[in-house]
Structure 1
């Protein structure tokens, strides 16, 4: 791992945490983006942690240059403020892979648990990113060759509701999918992106400015409208309530025991009994398997499931879980997902 930060105190503190984990090793540190590029070429790290504001060369510029030099996951360390969220989203658009709070206490009030979560994220990010660059998994090859191609270009059943769940790599993936949809898109869209509460308002505003459809952070009790995408608020759970002709959202506080807030499975499971047979559920890039249980519920009700392919996924975890479980009606690259969604008209 390469640590990039202009604070010598922070570099030392982070290095101590990382080196205490037997799975991880800090091979070098850098105090600005320019020095980071030199260390990248020398040490070829598996993952880079990057500060945003630094002298000589800032983090976003460094991310762009790293992306052009070598396929390396970059974990941005940012402040969890409104301004920090906007800058972090800029970094993700520039090519950063994921982000965490620079104040580790925001991960957990328990110091040892915060350090464990930090190390686990670094480990998962390095392994997941590099695995996504390798030859497609054998099980996924079987799924794609034996099942998907015959249906990947099949006529699309027009749904009454579209669900999209994603995690690592999701902000950029959602942008690529949603920006190709016309303003007259014929049904509502529910978006579940693993993201903290301080980030989702800025992310919804950014998507809304980029898209022809309307994108907003979901509000408790609001009715669903065609041509609008509703982003689940960070730190809470978004559930569907009502009946097919009168759908509305319930925004609820998440429980401490829940790993993800918002959680893809919880949202999808709430949809299944109401209008699962008229739902298209899509799983995009992300770590883990959140969404598999919810997609199974949708599938059991007769709904349709799409999954992003390995080649275009930043982290092939969540969509791989769908493919391995045999739930995917279509396995599509990111461009095709947006294009085929647009064809629902």
Structure 2
């Protein structure tokens, strides 16, 4: 049965273009279109699509407001289209916080090397987020959907600390037994669904977390600066976009810059980050495999590597190298993933020692790595 898609954009040209691309795939069918957010909210109730593609800037009701309204009435997977600007990045992050699952640049030439590749990528993204078996509006990690996360930036300096969301007892599972292993680094890799997942995990780490943290999120270069700033405003640990030469410090998280690769040099306790352009033949920039492999060379087995929600299998081979050195590898479980691709690749390969629900991962990290 074909996946039913509602296409929302104020440009008739873009609605037609997206519809034509999606209709090229026999597994996808565009059931309707909408010219603004208010029209989208109304049509979702009547046509009940499996997936929505949504523009951000529209008259009558913008895309972010529409996502919030849809998540309250008829929760449905949403793929946002965004401009690759600083303001576009902030708006897209607000849309993800409101409940959107994923995003793509609105200019297709920004996401692929050819027209054919761009067409395939859009089709794959729509199909991937539609595969979630029982979709419900996500619970934000540290704030309510009615309040953009950007409003929280700087509250830490005024003494406010983000609170973890209340969780039904039935959803909780016991923490993994603490291994007693010594650690020197926490490494987290993710893709689709990663921004909200990282907020959930990192907001539960204390300011005095005893180890440095590296974050690899598949994301355009114009987005990672805004995303790092957002995480820094939400978390007790410090978060920054990684720069070449950064000295790794405990309680600090370093987000790999979009469009580049992040590696390590030096020795544990005095390691620095190297940020490089990398090989154009590598599919992902940043690439989880590359950073994990570099961590294996520098830190050996003294690493806890966590693979969160995302499409594809990036992270599997790097995690394999870490596992061979004696590192601990955890994966997010299928039920809590937006897309169970990257964690599944690690789990199926027999590399992961734990498969954990998202809401438990932050607490489990503190239990395992805390001093």
Counterpart contact for 2:307–2:343, Cα < 8 Å? yes
Alpha-carbon separation, structure 1, partners of 2:39 and 2:19 = 17
| Equivalence for 2:314 | 290
Match of 1:318 among 342, 353, 356: 342
CA distance, structure 2, for counterparts of residue 217 and residue 266 of structure 1:
17
Q: Map of 1:31-42 to 2, 5 A cutoff?
A: 31-42=35-46
What SS is found at the alignment partner of 1:315?
coil
**Structure 2 counterparts to residues 227-306 of structure 1, below 5 A:** 227-306=251-330
State the Cα distance separating 1:22 from its structure 2 match: 2.6
Structure 2: where are the runs of 5+ without partners?
137-172
Q: What SS does the corresponding residue of 1:163 show, helix, strand or coil?
A: strand
Judged with a 3 Å threshold, the aligned counterparts in structure 2 of structure 1 residues 132 and 253 are, in CA distance, closer, same or farther, namely farther
Q: Does 1:72 align with 2:76?
A: yes
Q: 2:59 aligns with which of 49, 55, 60?
A: 55
Equivalent residue, structure 2, for 1:130 = 133
Please state how far the C-alpha of 1:6 moved relative to its aligned partner: 1.3
With normalisation by structure 1, the TM-score equals: 0.90
Deviations 1:210-243 (A, max 9, x none): 1111100111122111110000000011011112
Q: Deviations over 1:16-54 (max 9, x none)?
A: 222223332111001112211222222222211001122
Q: How does 1:201-240 map to 2 (within 5 A)?
A: 201-240=225-264
Q: Are the counterparts in 2 of residues 151 and 329 from structure 1 also a CA contact under 8 Å?
A: no
1:186 to 210, 226, 233: 210
Deviation, 1:131, is 8.0
Q: 2:192, 2:339 within 8 Å by CA — same for their partners in 1?
A: yes
1:342 counterpart = 2:346? no
Give the root-mean-square deviation of aligned CA atoms: 1.9
**Cα distance change of structure 1 residues 70 and 132 upon mapping to structure 2, 3 Å threshold:** closer
Cα offset, 1:117, TM superposition:
2.2
What's the CA shift for 1:295?
1.0
Q: Give the CA deviation at 1:8.
A: 1.5
CA contact (8 A) 2:76 2:135 kept: no
**Is the counterpart of residue 327 in structure 1 residue 351 in structure 2?**
yes
Conservation of the 8 A alpha-carbon contact between 1:152 and 1:329: no
SS state of the match for residue 275, structure 2? strand
Task: After the TM superposition, list the runs of 4 or more consecutive aligned residues in structure 1 that deviate by more than 4 angstroms.
Answer: none
C-alpha distance in 1 between matches for 2:10 and 2:197: 30
Secondary structure of the residue aligned to 2:283 is coil
Instruction: Give the conservation status (yes or no) of the 8 Å contact 2:224–2:241.
Output: yes
Query: Which range is displaced more, 169-178 or 104-113?
Result: 104-113
CA contact (8 A) 1:207 1:215 kept: yes
Once the two structures are superposed, residues 144-179 of structure 1 have per-residue CA deviations (whole angstroms, 9 ceiling, x without a partner) of xxxxx9982334534110000001111011011111
Distance in 2 of aligned mates of 1:283 and 1:63: 27
SS at match of 1:307: strand
